Amino acid sequence: MTELHRNLIGGEWVDGEAVPNINPSDTNDVVGNYARATKADTEAAIAAAKAAFPAWSRSGPLERHAVLRKAADEITARKEELGRLLSREEGKTLAEGIGETVRAAQIFDFFAGEALRLTGETVPSVRPGIGVEMTREAMGVVGIITPWNFPIAIPAWKLAPALCYGNTVVFKPADLVPGCSWAIVDILHRAGLPKGVLNLVMGKGSVVGQTILDSPDVNAITFTGSVATGKRVAAASVEHMRKFQLEMGGKNPMVVLDDADLGIAVDCAVNGAFFSTGQRCTASSRLIVTQGIHDKFVSAVTDKLKSLVVDNALKAGTHIGPVVDQSQLDQDEKYLAIGRDEGAKLVFGGERLNRETPGFYLQPALFTETTNDMRISREEIFGPVANVIRVKDYEEALHIANDTPFGLSSGICTTSLKYATHFKRNAEAGMVMVNLPTAGVDFHVPFGGRKGSSYGPREQGRYAAEFYTQVKTAYTLP
């Protein structure tokens, strides 16, 4: 019998309904059985986090440092094992799975250091003899809701700062990929976290997520996922006057100018649009190309796509794994039909693929002859589908790049310092890439977007303190 991976509530592992975690590269492979939490379980987790907060928020920096440091070390030591688990449950290639696991370890390592660098300010008052201190304090109970596309990195970049700054946590991972989240919670639990500081409640968003949203005892919520669910998180949080942070996706442009290095431009486009099966909120789904290089670029991208191997994520030589599940595959195919109906030309891919193992395999798809008002240019598909928009010059390219309700990542390929500098200043996005894929960011600097992509303070790096802490100003007359 397969072991049941249980929820962690108040420092105890709690049983629940067993739900199989299925490998999208091989639907006959059950990664493991994971306990589904109930509303009562979630309420118990919130109560445990609330009870643990006073002591943990006043714990010393060495205690927090030690826990996060141990977690970083164990994740690093187990990177091959955890990377394989990630690839089995989500469908990234093994190289990508191991790379994401290493990034999670780096994030815990960074915030272990931040626990020892907590600072404040002391300034003189405008009134004689009075001292003024400004310090940061933990928010309280933080609800963490994570998506399926980065099963270990996104939990890491939310859990690590939450714990570093003295918060307690109720953590709901995506129902589709509980394995990596369970592993990381188990590591933190064994690293010495006091009971109730970290609580894991796996299960349905309609049950677990909704209970977190409805609770007046949750002081802050950080969420990464769809726009529709993000709006629900916002509305529920306003009702309770709680702090909230949202990361909700993108429709990211990659501009390619006539003067671009063609090889670099093709690599940026293919990596950004199709690697990780295009299932990244930073994916380059709109390729905006000036007319002088357009035909050469399309031809070169098509040739590159023909050389990519789509297969089992764990198989050596695979470049692109499967789509995560049947629902996502259905959505990708729906948008392929929409693109054709809108008059776009499918120049490559878009076909279901059969492989040695049953899975959700889709050939990467490239549309041309598209415009920026088509649905495939406006709506996030979240799959290995990209479209090329032909423009006459840089000015039109910049306008099209910014003409979107999203604003997460924006890229340009050019050898012109003039255009690169202008684009960095004028691209309406939280992150800008020059001669680099729109997907792929460092762990120690801020991550986040503008417009419909994000709301609230940035994630990652030292900027994470803006969300996970609150400022106190204290005046003293000796």
**Catalytic residue numbers, as ranges:** 247, 281
From residue 143, alpha-carbon distances to 158, 172, 221, 277, 365 in Å are 10, 8, 5, 29, 37
Measured at the CA of 447, the angle between CA 441 and CA 449, to 5 degrees, comes to 115
Please state, in angstroms and rounded to a whole number, the distance separating the CA atoms of residues 368 and 305. 14
Instruction: Name residue 324's amino acid.
Output: V
| Main-chain phi, psi angles of 472, to 5 degrees | -120, 135
Cβ within 8 Å of residue 110, ≥6 positions away: 160, 443, 444, 461
**Smallest Cα–Cα separation from 258: which of 289, 300, 302, 285?**
289
Is 45 within 8 Å of 39 (Cβ atoms)? no
The label of the residue with tokens 């059985």 reads: 33
β-pairing, 450-451 with 406-407?
antiparallel
Query: Tokens standing for 371?
Result: 């415009």
Please state, in angstroms and rounded to a whole number, the distance separating the CA atoms of residues 71 and 198. 13
Sign for the CA dihedral angle at 52, 245, 240, 231 comes to: negative
Please state, in angstroms and rounded to a whole number, the distance separating the CA atoms of residues 287 and 437. 11
Task: Decide: helix, strand or coil at residue 19.
Answer: strand
Q: 233: which strand partners?
A: none
Instruction: Name residue 405's amino acid.
Output: P
Instruction: Quote the distance between the C-alpha of residue 133 and its chain's center.
Output: 35
Task: Decide: helix, strand or coil at residue 457.
Answer: coil
Is 288 within 8 Å of 377 (Cβ atoms)? no
Sign for the CA dihedral angle at 309, 337, 247, 204 comes to: negative
